[in-house]
């Protein structure tokens, strides 16, 4: 009976394995069509700006519910519309000479990714800022249309709590967190 049970289990695993491999997908991010927007609140005004997505490749398997890869943002690409403020952000807050990249590496997700149309998931992973990794979960809206995939998410980064310098000066105070609005656009293909 044991031999029969083991044989049955092995047969089921072999039958399921090709189906799981067939579900493997690869999302190649198009940096030119993707964007990271930020909003930093303040007591006299808010600062809006963008960062440039440098690269991104995410592997995911809806059948096995696995995800891996990374999205890389150029830390020195911050543009708030004020070159003097951006220079201070680069040198005093982000220290881009030493920490040129900001990355997010997804490790798991909750929810279901539909083969086409819209999906809502929660992606958990490691967000590395200023060379230090932090656990982060990002709610994402996914839209798949043929080979086109767009992923949108909003989250908050507690940059002061995470050890970065507070850029507030005198009576000009800014928030200790920055709101991020992420849009990743690219192509999805079979990952086999």
Domain ranges of the chain: 24-190
Q: For 1-160, where are the alpha helices, taking DSSP H only?
A: 2-23, 83-88
pLDDT of residue 155: 97
User: So what's the architecture of 24-190 in CATH?
Assistant: Beta Barrel (2.40)
pLDDT of residue 191: 62
pLDDT of residue 16: 47
What is the distance between the alpha carbons of residues 60 and 140, in angstroms, rounded to a whole number? Answer: 14
What is the distance between the alpha carbons of residues 83 and 125, in angstroms, rounded to a whole number? Answer: 32
What residues of the chain score a pLDDT lower than 70?
Answer: 1-22, 191-192
- Please choose, from the candidates 173, 174, 177, 175, the residue with its C-alpha nearest in 3D space to the C-alpha of residue 159: 177
Strand partners, 66: 61
């Amino acid at each position: 009976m044991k031999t029969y049970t083991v044989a049955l289990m092995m047969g089921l695993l072999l039958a399921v394995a090709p189906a799981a491999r067939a579900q493997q997908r690869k999302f190649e991010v198009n940096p030119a069509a993707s964007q990271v927007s930020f909003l930093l609140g303040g007591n006299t005004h808010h600062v809006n700006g963008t960062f440039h997505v440098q690269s991104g490749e995410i592997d995911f398997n809806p059948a096995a519910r696995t995800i891996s890869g990374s999205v890389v943002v150029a830390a020195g690409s911050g543009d708030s519309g004020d070159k003097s403020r951006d220079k201070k952000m680069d040198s005093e807050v982000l220290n881009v000479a030493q920490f040129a990249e900001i990355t997010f590496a997804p490790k798991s997700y909750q929810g279901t990714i539909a083969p086409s149309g819209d999906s809502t998931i929660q992606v958990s992973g490691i967000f590395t800022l200023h060379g230090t990794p932090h656990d982060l979960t990002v709610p994402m809206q996914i839209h798949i249309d043929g080979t086109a995939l767009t992923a949108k998410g909003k989250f908050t980064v507690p940059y002061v709590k995470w050890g970065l310098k507070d850029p507030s000066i005198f009576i000009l105070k800014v928030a200790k967190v920055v709101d991020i609005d992420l849009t990743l656009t690219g192509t999805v293909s079979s990952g086999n």
